[in-house]
Chain A
């Protein structure tokens, strides 16, 4: 089944403790993105990748890192999480810039 898989789905952690949210897609898609969603603000793009080893900042990249060492995986790294990064996170992928995005089921992060 074609899908975008995020892990973990839920995480409660403390300020400053490094964490990684993994994202994997099995559709051989070129393009991958990370979004965060906060009440009243809709979906905001954090980072995107248009190919292996190619990543670019979205609208809210501060406090996040990403890597794209292989086509299927696009992990989101929070080196020193802070409470303002408490949010619902979505990973997405697509084959080309015309094709629509496929989204994962989301990761709910709580930073205490």
Chain B
């Protein structure tokens, strides 16, 4: 699976959009991009995933560049409850179930 690179930390003002980047320059054609978040020491929570097209759900939007080498998770109106560690993962839909989470981006939303 392709390796991902994320900034270790980011800040965002409450009510503003939080844009979390992820670099996956070695992604292959059939690998999906997944985003999870972990609040404190709770179990990670799935947010969104995509292959090529931009995706949106009730939690967030996922923007994948045309060359697929990077993506951005957008939380449109960040709240204090969005303070968490966000993980970007890339993997193919076949083969083994091995997953590499990395250390993610710690997002701090401030009032």
Contact = CB atoms under 8 A, between A and B. Distances in A.
Contacts of B42: 105-106
A106 B44 CA distance: 10
**Chain A interface, DSSP helix/strand/loop, else mixed:** strand
A104 interface: yes
A59 interface: yes
Given A42-B104, A48-B98, A100-B46, A88 B93 contact: no
Interface string A34-67: 0101001111110011100000101100000000
**Chain B interface, DSSP helix/strand/loop, else mixed:** loop
Interface residues of B, number: 25
Contacts of B91: 97
A94 to B, nearest CB: 8
A94 B102 CA distance: 20
A60 B17 CA distance: 37
Interface string B72-111: 0000000000000001000111111111111110000000
A94 B98 CA distance: 12
B23 to A, nearest CB: 16
Contact of B93 (A40, A42, A98): A98
Most chain B CB inside 10 Å of its own CB: which residue of A43, A45, A108? A43
Interface residues of A, number: 32
Contacts of B96: 48, 50, 56
B51 to A, nearest CB: 9
Nearest to A105: B43
Nearest to B44: A103
Contact of B101 (A43, A100, A104): A43
A92 B99 CA distance: 11
Nearest to B91: A97
B45 interface: yes
Nearest to A97: B93
Contacts of B46: 100-102
Interface string A63-100: 00000000000000000000000001010101011101
